Amino acid sequence: MMNRVTIVGAGFAALTAVKKLRAADPAMEISLVAPKPEFSYLPGTIWIPSRLRQPEDLLIPLDNYFRRMKVKFHQGVATGLRDGGRTLITDGGEIENDGLIICSGGRFIKKLPGIEHSITPCEGIPAAVKIRDRLEQLKKSDGGTIAVGFSGNPKEPSAMRGGPMFEFLFGIDRRLRLDGRRNAFKLVFFTPASSPGNRLGPKAVKGLLREMKRRGIDTHLGHKIKGFTERSVITEGGEFDADLILFMPGMTGNQWFDNTDLPRSKGGLIRADRECRVEGMEKVYVAGDSGSFPGPDWMPKQAHMADLQAEAAAANLVAELNGRTPSKTFKVELICIIDSQTTGSLVARTEKRNIVLPEMRIFHWLKRLFEWWYLRQYR
């Protein structure tokens, strides 16, 4: 009998799960639920404000990929679960399955007063376009203050995404210098943490702060954020002016999880084991930002980690469907190139080592090459 597997989402984890499931079982019936048959390559959005990338470069239609992989696409959003996960409820009807992989990403915590006056870059391509347009406006005027910051989910240390904010910060600094407009702008980096980028490792923190000082970027660190106004950032350590605010809040689980029996972590994510199995549920897996996994508190919420978790989830679900014991775990690994438009610095962290390599032109081009190589499979 043919196994039916449903995947929720169309991001990094979901598409990797499709690839691995199809390779393991050419006959499997794979259904995928997402609002649109398209993939947003979020790591590339750091280049939209400087026009190194256009929105259409990073938005990949998936119709051909789904055809090649024989995936049944269901346009819609998940709204709930029934029968211990065997029925996924969506706004377009119910889908029954023999196995389920949840890859629907995370949701940003938007509780701070005035947060609507900030732009959250990782919300997608439209957010990066908004940053680009606002930056263009400021460049045409007398300049101003640009504030870039992030915070976490106090109940879930790993549910945060700070790396891209350093890239937006350094990228904007570089763009302004190339345009000969840097002197007209003040750049401020803010976060409640006293050591920003701690999850990248102690070496990286020193390097990032040194880099900010070298570039003349002000810092406002170690003060709890109280809120925003249209023209300022308010913290317990004081208020400062800002004409453009880029802010990445901490993450929590999707709203639809509330309509299910899915076990949740303190931070609102789905509790899972090192095999990516959802605790206490049969043939239900989670990968990427939706999940809360055992491991070090620096475990990243990034595309590479989502891919590694999706590989484990797919392999273990196939094992379970075939009556075997799931045994594949994922490697905890943080790898990123902190890009500055023309150069980049490589940061890598595993449970055994932490490597930080200085800014070099080659790393910028490596990041661009990786984007081309990664997206090739979906085009």
Write down the pLDDT at residue 235.
Answer: 97
- Residue 203 reports pLDDT greater than 90: no
pLDDT tens per residue across span 132-189: 999 999 999 989 999 999 999 989 888 888 889 999 999 999 999 999 999 999 999 9
The pLDDT value recorded for residue 233 is 98
Is the pLDDT at 240 greater than 90? The verdict is: yes
State mean pLDDT over 7-24: 98
pLDDT given at position 307: 97
The tokens for 268 are: 């609102």
The pLDDT assigned to 110 comes to: 94
Task: Please state the separation of Cα 287 from the chain's center in Å.
Answer: 12
Q: In this predicted model, what pLDDT tens digit does every residue of 51-91 receive, in sequence order? A: 999 999 999 999 999 999 999 999 999 999 999 999 999 99
pLDDT score recorded for residue 162: 85
Do the Cβ atoms of 288 and 306 come closer than 8 Å? yes
**Averaged pLDDT of the chain:** 95
Strand (E) or helix (H) holding 362 = helix 361-376
Homologous superfamily (CATH) for 4-49+58-106+253-321? FAD/NAD(P)-binding domain (3.50.50.60)
Asked whether the predicted pLDDT for residue 207 surpasses 90, the reply is no
Q: Is the pLDDT of residue 95 over 90?
A: yes
- Residue 189's pLDDT is 97
Q: Is the pLDDT of residue 1 over 80?
A: no
The H or E element that residue 59 is part of is strand 59-61
As given in the structure block, the two tokens for residue 175 are 């763009």
Q: How far apart are CA 67 and CA 316, in angstroms?
A: 25
pLDDT at position 77 is 97
CATH number of 110-250: 3.50.50.60
Q: How far apart are CA 113 and CA 219, in angstroms?
A: 22
| 254-309 pLDDT, tens digit each | 999 999 999 999 999 999 999 999 999 999 999 999 999 999 988 989 999 999 99
CATH 3.50.50.60 residue ranges in the chain?
4-49+58-106+253-321, 110-250
pLDDT score of 158: 81
Assess whether pLDDT exceeds 90 at residue 197: no
Exposure of 161 in the CB half-sphere (CA atoms within 13 A) = 28
Percent of the chain topping pLDDT 90: 89
Q: Is the pTM above the cut of 0.75?
A: yes
